[in-house]
Amino acid sequence: MDWQLFGLSFITVFLAEIGDKSQLAAIALGGSSESPRAVLLGSIVALILASFLGVIAGGSMAQFLPTKILKAIAAIGFAVMALKLLWPETEA
């Protein structure tokens, strides 16, 4: 196992997930339910499934596109999201 890649993946996903809407939903569900263990397990399974789908999609795309292009697509996607956050849409 590539432990450096494991650590990089862990840190990236962990930092990306802190304070996002799924964590806030888990806090709300955990605080309002009588079974916080069920909320924890449901949240764990959901994150694992979402990560699994992302890895499968990335692996599939990597068979058709060079790594450099995949990284460029990801960078452009993050830049677009950042610009949307900086310049919110105005209501007409």
pLDDT range class, residue 52, cuts 50, 70, 90: very high
Residues 6+ apart with CB under 8 A from 73: 65
Predicted pLDDT of residue 65: 92
Whether the per-residue pLDDT at 18 is higher than 80: the answer is no
Residue 88 — φ and ψ, nearest 5°?
A: -65, 155
Mean pLDDT of 36-62: 90
**Taking all residues of the chain, what is their mean pLDDT, rounded to a whole number?**
87
pLDDT at 91: 64
Entry pTM: 0.63
Q: Return the DSSP state at 66.
A: -
The predicted-structure confidence for 20-42, as pLDDT tens digits, reads as follows 788 888 888 888 888 989 999 99
